[in-house]
Amino acid sequence: MFEITLTLDKTNKEALYVQLYKYFKTEIQNGQIKAGMKLPSKRKLAVHLGIGLNTVDSAYQQLMAEGYVESQLRKGFFVADLEPISPLNEPLHVSGGVMGPKHERNMIDFNHGRVDMDSFPHAVWKKCLNNTLYLQERKIFMSGDPQGEWGLRAEISSYLFQSRGVRCGADQIIIGAGTQYFIHLLRLLLGNEGIFGLEDPGFHRVREVLRLEGANIAFIPLDEGGISVDSLKKSAANVAYVTPSHQFPSGMIMPITRRVELLNWAVEKAGYIIEDDYDGEFRHAGKPIPSLQGLDTNGKVIYLGTFSKSLIPSIRVGYMVLPKELARDYQQKLIGYKQTVSKIIQETLCLFMINGHWERHLNKMRTIYRKKNKVLLNAIEENFHDHVAVIGEKSGLHVLLKVKNGISESELIQKAASVGVRVHPTSVYHSKNVKGPTILIGYGGLTEREIEEGIRLLKKVWL
């Protein structure tokens, strides 16, 4: 028998039997009450704690139901012999909202997918969320419009025209959870006739969706202006996926002459252009360049956008603007697809935009990221001088470093990790092996101090 050191709180809202059950469960899990030990009889324990017999019985029954104790006829209740839960190879911790091995806790991670979470207006967002739940009442919990909530689509339509020159109505906008989902929908809309010309290097997640769905793919090389239209013309492609405002990952901005060439190609080919404007809001020199879609007068551009870079990645809200002809096809063929973004999140974001919080937040983030960009470039110049070449520094939340030390990409990454810095490869974005190592440096989620310290540490192991 063992000593019961439990004091039940009768003023607690939690039922007494739950308190008792939790006590035994914790003691068993911690090894304080070991396998094979006999629990006190229900009557003795009830007297000892000054509680009813039914209360003890309920606690024991719950322990039995979960397998912590076993009942032996005419003998009583005994602690079961539980197999211990095997620990993970490396304990996990939470750092910046991301789970990772313990040794990664202090890593300075130049991840291009992270944003400045400290600057997110948590209180304002929470207020909008609470107002949404209050104003919408019961209907907020029902399924929404498969195409996305009309109010949010109307707000996005207005924002896109003012900031990116995109011309569309709310009926042309589809809300969805990310680029890969939209590529899947487009694959269904365009059918087997769609042969996709992808930038090379380019966004690997788009490539993987198309590959897994058995789409025909043509890899199109880049030049200083972005995707090579000459190479595109020589291919069989009739759908071109491009990132003209900030080519991913190489970072160049497509000039107006190339944009016109691309639009003319789409007309001649009777095809489409998918314009992925994943971080077009952030241009560090001058104003954001108008979208390719805004130049299109023939309904040939499909425009993709996201709130992942400009707001927070976790809300998983993206949008696709279809040309009117494709929007009609979507209504006929794919309207049966359920919406992938929570209606609560959509309505909260809509309220966030209506009340002007979105525009204020975006202006604030432009200033913050412009400053971080400057800090990064200054740190690279001070530490590396002409030992690296910086690519794509005028826009977005990442740059590329072409390192001139004769070390391979994998070795550069390993050396960085040895001093607590994580940098990322660019080889994954190429369809073929490439010569010369180029490293991707994302800086949106780091503080200015972390940026400077990370570059200083890279100098120690790269030079």
What is the H or E stretch that residue 302 is in?
Answer: strand 301-306
- Which of helix, strand or coil describes residue 198? strand
Task: Specify the pLDDT at position 311.
Answer: 81
Peptide bond into 201 cis (omega under 30): yes
Task: Specify the pLDDT at position 98.
Answer: 43
Assess whether pLDDT exceeds 50 at residue 216: yes
Assess whether pLDDT exceeds 90 at residue 91: no
Q: How does pLDDT run across 176-208, given as a tens digit for each residue?
A: 998 999 999 999 999 888 899 999 999 999 999
Task: Specify the pLDDT at position 417.
Answer: 93
Q: How does pLDDT run across 6-53, given as a tens digit for each residue?
A: 778 888 878 888 888 888 888 888 888 888 888 889 998 888 888 899
Q: How does pLDDT run across 145-177, given as a tens digit for each residue?
A: 899 999 999 999 999 998 888 999 999 999 999
Assess whether pLDDT exceeds 80 at residue 434: no
> What does residue 235 show for φ and ψ, rounded to 5 degrees?
-90, 175
- Residues 253, 279: contact at Cβ < 8 Å? no
Assess whether pLDDT exceeds 50 at residue 95: no
Task: Specify the pLDDT at position 102.
Answer: 44
What pTM did the predictor assign? 0.74
Calpha distance 325→249 (Å, rounded): 31
- Residues 146, 330: contact at Cβ < 8 Å? no
- Which of helix, strand or coil describes residue 283? strand
What is the band of 65 on the pLDDT scale with cuts at 50, 70, 90?
A: confident
What is the band of 93 on the pLDDT scale with cuts at 50, 70, 90?
A: very low
Q: Domains in the chain, please, with CATH?
A: 16-79 (1.10.10.10), 93-119+360-462 (3.90.1150.10), 122-355 (3.40.640.10)
Task: Specify the pLDDT at position 90.
Answer: 46
Mean per-residue pLDDT of the chain: 87
Calpha distance 115→308 (Å, rounded): 8
